[in-house]
Amino acid sequence: MEMLAAADALRRVSLELGFSACGVADAAAAQGDTLRDWLASGAHAGMGWMESHLEARLNPELLLPGVKRVVMLSYEYSREDARREQGRIARYAQGQDYHRLLAPKLADLDELLQVFGGVQRGFADSGPVSERFFAQQAGLGWLGRHGLLVRPKLGSYCVLACLLTTLELPLDAPMPNRCGSCHSCEQSCPTAALADGLCDARRCLSYWTIEAKEAMPADVQAVAGDRLFGCDICQEACPWNGAVAPTLDARMLMPDTLASMPLAEFSSMSEADFERYFAGSALRRAGLDRLRERARQIEE
């Protein structure tokens, strides 16, 4: 009964904190060889950190000894492209950096579960946890052919956070895949980066505009359009994203200064301006040099 009470309290408080869904998965759920095979193929490109933390991703016990459950949480971001100037920015990065935004919310949930005797460790896409796998196991949605979590009412426009816990909370049922015969996301990708529910980062526009340290290949640049930071093409093509948009945390929305900033301002931006505009933004992930370089490519 105590674990039922803990689960009920967890769901209630998570909604009060602004999370759109909360589900519980078995920390010992078998992940199979998909991730290991994907890394072995080199599809993670230059993201070596994914390979170096592989064992922890496959075994949450290495992150929290005694872990029993993975609590998965979703947080919504805008479905609209707010930029009014050239230079598109991925929707998840339009507002404040969600890593910082969600960290104190996870701390609140940690304190709640401590009351029930649990030991927790929380991550907001900030540690080696297979969050999308556990989100599907926790019944939040299913993994679409673009590899992202898709929800039947809310689509895929969300970020994920998790709490590993030693509590044996009641498990939620995994959600079956409902993509059916639809291949819209795969067919929409201009670089053919998507296949069989996996994304090959060596072809992905998000990788080349955010993570890559090397120069963007000419054939990728030729189809990148005016994407300055990230890419939402596969999400834009997904029919599940036609659902009614939820009420959003205003901090996840793009400020007017960024929405109206001319592309030329990115290409000539100083270090001081970069710090002033993007101190709490996910755009810092790319860094000033990458943003300036990409803006200049678009201008050409």
- Give tens-digit pLDDT for 79-100: 999 999 999 999 999 999 999 9
The domain locations on the chain are 2-79+96-165, 184-239+250-299
Q: Which residue has the higher pLDDT, 1 or 158?
A: 158
249-288: per-residue pLDDT in tens? 999 999 999 999 999 999 999 999 999 999 999 999 999 9
Burial (Cβ within 10 Å: 0-12, 13-18, ≥19) of residue 69 = buried
162-201: per-residue pLDDT in tens? 999 999 999 999 999 999 999 999 999 999 999 989 999 9
Instruction: Write down the residue that tokens 């000033």 correspond to.
Output: 288
Could you report how far apart the first and last alpha carbons of the chain are, in Å? 64
- Cβ atoms within 10 A of the Cβ of 80, count? 13
**How far apart are the C-alpha atoms of 58 and 72, rounded to whole Å?**
16
CB burial string 7-18: b at 16+ within 10 A, e below: beebbebbeebb
- Cβ atoms within 10 A of the Cβ of 112, count? 19
**Considering the entire predicted model, what is its pTM?**
0.96
- Do residues 69 and 25 lie in contact, with contact meaning Cβ atoms separated by under 8 Å? yes
User: Which residue out of 125, 196, 232, 289 is catalytically annotated?
Assistant: 125
125 is catalytic: yes
115-152: per-residue pLDDT in tens? 999 999 999 998 999 999 999 999 999 999 999 999 99
**How far apart are the C-alpha atoms of 208 and 297, rounded to whole Å?**
13
